[in-house]
Homo-oligomer: A and B are copies of this chain.
Amino acid sequence: MSLVRVTNFAISLDGYGAGEPQSLEAPFGHAGMKLHEWRFATWQPGAPNGLDALFGRQYDVGFGAEIMGANKFGPPGWQDDPDWRGWWGEDPPFHTPTYVLTHRPRAAMEMEGGTTFHFLDASPTDALVVAKEAAGDLDVRIGGGASTVNAYVAADLVDHLHLAVVPIVLGRGTSLWQGLEALEDTFHIEAVTSPSGVTHLSLTRRSPSA
């Protein structure tokens, strides 16, 4: 069965998925790269093939589509730049149809490596119908940012989340947990800390989503 999953989504101890303000120069705001260093470390030559790498590899396996929020695709105002093609160059790391939620959609962009960006002015629920159709038997990844993940969880549309809690305190930003009181009733929550200091949370839905 096709699932809706969040994977390798990094948050701070205080639950922020990015800092602020975000800009072309500071895509993660005042958080800088701190939320993502643990994962980049796994990509270095000779990096340990340990727990962080194991969780990291979940990112690439079994997905047939991604949905992301407008704030992940570009800095504030990217909709005004007709030449903006995302942060990732001509071969983005998605390798599937990738749906960008925006109130100002534009024509689809076919990139190298299997990624095609589609722009949807749609609710989370309606966008998921489109993405599931594209993914077929594979899973749909909710790619972020924090407000998009939060919206999908709040709408009860997610089957599994892998969150990486990085031992930093951001103090401000977009909260992943906002409004998700008693999430433990819907999800089994498992925690394991890696030698890097990152605590990996695996949230598994107790019963299938609708």
Give the interface of A toward B (CB within 8 A). Answer: 13-15, 165, 167-172, 175, 177-184, 189-193, 197-199, 201
List B contacts of A165 (CB < 8 A).
191, 199
- A180 and B184: CB pair below 8 A? no
A177-B171 contact, Cβ under 8 Å, with A191-B199, A193-B192, A197-B190: yes
Query: In the bound complex, how far is the Cα of B182 from the Cα of A167, in angstroms?
Result: 10
Query: In the bound complex, how far is the Cα of B165 from the Cα of A201, in angstroms?
Result: 12
List B contacts of A172 (CB < 8 A).
181
Query: In the bound complex, how far is the Cα of B171 from the Cα of A198, in angstroms?
Result: 23
List B contacts of A171 (CB < 8 A).
177-182
- B182 and A13: CB pair below 8 A? no
Contacts A/B (CB < 8 Å), 13 sampled: A13-B15, A13-B183, A13-B201, A14-B15, A14-B177, A15-B15, A167-B191, A168-B189, A169-B181, A171-B177, A171-B181, A189-B197, A191-B197
Nearest to A203 among chain B residues (CB) is B167
Q: How far is the CB of A163 from chain B (nearest CB, A)?
A: 9
List B contacts of A182 (CB < 8 A).
168-169, 171
- Cβ-neighbour of A177 out of B13, B178, B184 (below 8 A): B13
Q: How far is the CB of A203 from chain B (nearest CB, A)?
A: 9
